[in-house]
A and B are shown apart, each in its own frame.
Chain A
Amino acid sequence: MGTSRRTFLRGATAASAIAGFPRVARAQAKTPVKVGVVAIRAGIAAPVGTAGLRGTEWWAERVNKAGGILGRPVQLVVEEESNPKDTVERYRKLILQEKVEVVLGGISTGVTLALAPVAEDLGTPWLSWDGTTQKGVEETMPKTKWSFRSVDNEVEAIAGGLLTAKYFKGVRTIAGINNDYSYGHDCWQSYQAVLKKLGMDVRPVVELFPKLGVTDFTSHIATIQQAKPDLLMTSFWSGDATILMKQAAGVGLFKSMKGVFTTAGGVHDSLKKEFTPEGLLLGYNTMYFDDPKGSALLKQFVREYKTKYNEYPPYECDHAYFCAESWKTAVEKAAKGGQWPGKADVVKALEGLEVESLSGKRSWREDHVMMCNFYQGITTHKNSYDFVTIDPIEVISTKQAMKPAGTKLLEWIAGWKM
């Protein structure tokens, strides 16, 4: 009896676990290849999840128009990312029930910390859009076999620190307003560490950590005004960045101080000119929709996105596009003699792989962490939109702003040679 149950379980999991056997493409020529997607669809991060999903759908349409992957059309199977418990269940469903070849997605690090061990158990590649396996600013899973993680959470704060030193040299006192969860705390800590290392003699005069989702910052703004810092830094990334900007404009906050919005480019087209001043440092994460040096692929994507959704795409589209495109490239690279490769072969092909993504070249580091460029710059009203853009555009690579594999963040920053 025990033997039959074990046999059954092995049989049931074998299709999705441990390498898999190469299968003959001829037999599957018309069989769609299932690609699992986990995307946030509700709550404060829903716009980010939606952008990722749209990027993936655009990729799938392009691939299918071009004849699929090794002749097989792509079929997306979408499940919702919510809390860790439910998302782990959805993830298992994708692999065990839907028999997908790969899972794409994952935004919240709270969720992806739970997903990564499950991905390792189930033996199917998982390429995370925006989630890491960091605890705070340190890696918890330095060696994974099946999990491919996004850039470290604090990179945009580090890039913001580097550019603060370049553009706002005279700053002596700083204030921080960041969300009260790990991302907000990590960004504020990293930003200060960079300024210190760069020799900026700055003193934090106030640090505020409102709850994620708060929509009234009037008391926070009053506190900041009272502290009279030379510069305000924030890593707000959702609608709260827009609200803060609006409420700050109401009292002319940025007439008396500089502003650094490391991540607000995620809601860039809501930062209207009427309340967003010029001269702020604004980060767009890893894709800038209006890059004049952008590729034809980026321009086509922005054009079609605007036509379809009447919005300009944020960075999450490119995280998602890169994950999907790199997996496709790895499948094609690993395929031998027209045969669909095993999952382990695809993983091997992904390691160190570089592909053309929407924002340019992106790659997977050997330890399965995403490598790409971050875009930040100074806000300007000189454009044809009703919202701000940036000029000049600063491009900072993860080679410069992300800690190398196996290092600790603060030790790495402290070790920078100036």
Chain B
Amino acid sequence: MRQALVLAVALAAVVAVPWIAPIYHVLLMLPFMAYGVVLLGLNLLFGYTGLVSFGHALFIGLGAYTAAFLTGLFKVRALEVILLTAAVVAAVVAMPVAAFCVRYVKIYFGMLTLAFGMVFYTFLLKFYRLTGGDEGMPVARPFLLGRDLGDMPKIEYLAGPYYYYSLVVLIVAIAVMWRIVHSPFGLCLKTIRDNPAKAETLGISVPHYRWTAFVISAVYAGVGGALLATPTGNVDPTLAYWTHSGNLVFMTLLGGFASFFGPLVGAFVFIYLQDFVMSVVPYWRLVFGAILAALVIFAPGGLLGLFPRRRVIEAA
């Protein structure tokens, strides 16, 4: 009951942001919602399956470049089509990548995902004529629910229709992921995470379940990447760089990978903390490094792990 109340208040606050918050903070919520979608997927691997990916920026990059290609080269402006295509592209790429990666666990899995991510980053950088190389590609303003909205000032577009569109996508992503992790499939993933040998003896095909979780998480990252591209208006290879993957893991750790909503809290805190620290300290990366170290040492359960267990919605 208390959990539902907290969620309702949080949702009401997010809905009210465009009315009550300064415009810049409204815009900061856009990457939060995009990363929220990405992290829900990442945590299916991390928190529920026990596999830490250091290469998920690959799928963000795929989603973002899908938006650039569709709106630019193919003149497809409907965001619904863009998101769907981003999901399909991410899934198609994830299938073979996952087939390689899920044969390994722990650091080997992490390194392999990192390697695939960097292969894609290099592809984006080197194939200049196709991808724009280091200069990237522009992303035209997408239509929302068939409406052009091209006459609207971009800030108003982002802080109004695009904001609520992103919020709906996030809510749908949450609902679907909630259903997934509370399904028999999600239960199997948790079993695999806790004891893969026992899962095998129970008849669970561990590689197959890991593969499926990987592909689902990639789809989430692809959709999140497509959402992330529009506010910037440009995509570039740094979206697929390994440090971006590292930020995703940081956000998940910050909020708490053991909780369903932990990664969302992590994304929110990360974005606002970065915004604040970047403005006041030139060496903000040092500050973030110190925070990460303190987090791992003193609060391995992340911010939501600081609360008594009954108050949070547990992953396990």
A binds B: yes
Which residues of A pack against B, CB within 8 Å? 4-6, 8-10, 12-13, 17, 41-42, 79-80, 83-86, 88-90, 92-93, 96-97, 109-110, 113-114, 117-118, 121-122, 135-136, 180-182, 185
Partner of A9, one of B23, B31, B135, B239: B23
In whole angstroms, how far apart are the Cα atoms of A97 and B27 in the complex? 11
Which B residues are in CB contact (< 8 Å) with A96?
22-24, 27, 155
A10 to B160, CA, bound (A): 12
Distance from B150 Cβ to chain A, minimum over Cβ atoms (Å) = 12
Residues B128 and A84 in contact, CB atoms below 8 Å apart: no
| With contact pairs A117-B138, A121-B153 given, residues A135 and B232 touching in the complex (Cβ less than 8 Å) | no
Known: A13-B153, A181-B125. A114 touches B238 (CB 8 A): no
Which residues of chain A have C-beta atoms less than 8 A from B136's C-beta? 84, 110, 113-114
Q: Which B residue sits closest to A1, measured CB to CB?
A: B19
B282 and A80 contacting across the interface, CB-CB below 8 Å:
yes
A390 to chain B, nearest CB (A): 30
Q: Which residues of B contact A80 (CB under 8 A)?
A: 278, 282, 284
The 7 closest A-B pairs by CB, nearest first: A114-B234, A83-B238, A96-B24, A12-B23, A97-B24, A121-B154, A181-B134
Chain B residues 23-42 with CB under 8 Å of chain A are 23-24, 27-28, 31
Interface pair A13/B134, CB less than 8 Å apart: no
Give how many A-B residue pairs fall within 8 Å (CB-CB). Answer: 103
The CA-CA distance from A85 to B239 in the complex, in Å, is 8
In the complex, per-residue mask of B117-151: 1 if CB is within 8 Å of any chain A CB, else 0: 00000000110100011111010000000000000
Given A85-B232, A185-B128, A6 and B156 contact (CB-CB distance below 8 Å):
yes
CB distance from A350 to the nearest CB of B (A): 23
B225-244 to A contact mask, C-beta < 8 Å, 1/0:
00010011110101100000
The size of the chain B interface, using a CB distance under 8 A, is: 37
B285 touches A42 (CB 8 A): yes
With beta carbons under 8 angstroms apart, the residue of B138, B233, B236 that contacts A110 is B236
Inter-chain contact B236/A83, CB cutoff 8 Å: yes
| Chain B residues proximal to chain A, CB less than 8 Å | 18-19, 22-24, 27-28, 31, 125-126, 128, 132-136, 138, 153-156, 159-160, 228, 231-234, 236, 238-239, 275, 278-279, 282, 284-285
Residue pairs across A and B with Cβ atoms less than 8 A apart, 15 shown, are: A9-B159, A10-B156, A12-B23, A17-B155, A84-B232, A85-B31, A85-B232, A85-B236, A85-B238, A89-B27, A93-B279, A113-B234, A118-B233, A122-B155, A180-B126
Docked Cα-Cα span, A223 to B153, in Å, equals 54
Q: Which of B19, B138, B153, B284 contacts A8 (CB 8 A)?
A: B19
A337 to chain B, nearest CB (A): 31
Cross-interface CB contact of B153 among A17, A84, A110, cutoff 8 Å: A17
A97 CA to B28 CA, complexed, in Å: 12
A379 vs chain B, min Cβ distance (A): 30
Complex Cα–Cα for A92 and B154 (A): 12
Given A92-B27, A93-B24, A182-B134, A5 contacting B160 (CB threshold 8 A): yes
Q: Which of B125, B135, B159, B232 contacts A109 (CB 8 A)?
A: B135
Q: Which residues of A contact B236 (CB under 8 A)?
A: 83-85, 110, 114
Known: A9-B23, A181-B125. 8 other contacts (CB 8 A): A6-B160, A9-B156, A88-B233, A96-B27, A97-B22, A97-B24, A118-B233, A182-B128
A131 CB to closest chain B CB (Å) equals 11
Residue pair A182, B27 in contact (C-beta under 8 Å): no
Asked if A135 and B22 make an inter-chain contact with CB atoms under 8 angstroms apart, the answer reads no
